[in-house]
Each structure stands twice: as structure tokens, then as C-alpha cells.
Amino acid sequence: MSECLFCKIARKEIPSAIVYEDDTLIAFKDIFPQAPVHLLIIPKVHCEGLGDLTPEAEAAAARIPRLAARLAVEHGVQASGWRLISNCGADGGQTVFHLHFHLLGGKSLGGKLCQ
């Protein structure tokens, strides 16, 4: 069994505030939210990140933009606006090496780069 943190969350061995789940994707609240709405959307299958896509992870990840748009509506940020980002590697700011997308909204997120 993988020791990966997000694999454990996907297997529900570590609790999280799950907001969506299907056969291949799961979305949950970030434990250290950077905005009023801060969700993480991940494929259940492990892959390190966008630079390391397996065919299975790619197929799951291809569905993430549509899911993000649905969650943006459900969490009340569609009208005000939101951001979907995936940090990749050390300079990209990635700290958990299981592919994930941050859905952020509920406040002005400013320019393209976090300070």
C-alpha cells in the first residue's frame, strides 16, 4: 500500500472533508485554506504530478476541469470567479507529490503569482 498522503486520503485512511467522489476522482477541502473556498481535486490513482502522467491518471485528470466548474457553482464562486492550478515540482511549489489541482475562490486572488 502506498505511503502517499493523498493516496491515504483517497482510501479514507486519513480523514478529510470530502466534497465529491466518483470512481476515479475525489475532491476535499484543503487543510490550510488559502482562500474562503480552497478545494483539492485529485485522481484516485497515484501519479506524482503533471510531469509524470500515466495513461490512467491522464484519463482521470482530463475530467477535472469540468468537475472544478461544477464545484465552483456548488461552492458559490462561479459568479465571482475562481482559479484552478496544479503546482509541479520544487520551483512550482509542489509539496505533496500526488497529482492534485487547487480550486480557489471566494476572494480576489490577485495576480498570477502568489507573493
7 touches, from Zn ion, ligand 5GP, none (C-beta below 5 to 8 Å by class): Zn ion
CA distances from 108 to 72, 77, 97, 101 (A): 15, 11, 27, 19
How far apart (Å, rounded) are the C-alpha atoms in residues 82 and 76?
A: 10
Say whether residue 96 binds Zn ion (CB under 5 A). Answer: no
Q: Which among 75, 98, 100, 102 is annotated as catalytic?
A: 100
In the complex with ligand 5GP, the residue whose CB is nearer, 28 or 45, is 28
Say whether residue 7 binds ligand 5GP (CB under 6 A). Answer: no
In the complex with ligand 5GP, the residue whose CB is nearer, 4 or 79, is 4
User: Looking only at Cα atoms, what is the longest distance across the chain?
Assistant: 41
Residue 38 bears catalytic tag: no
Contact 77, 105 (CB under 8 A): yes
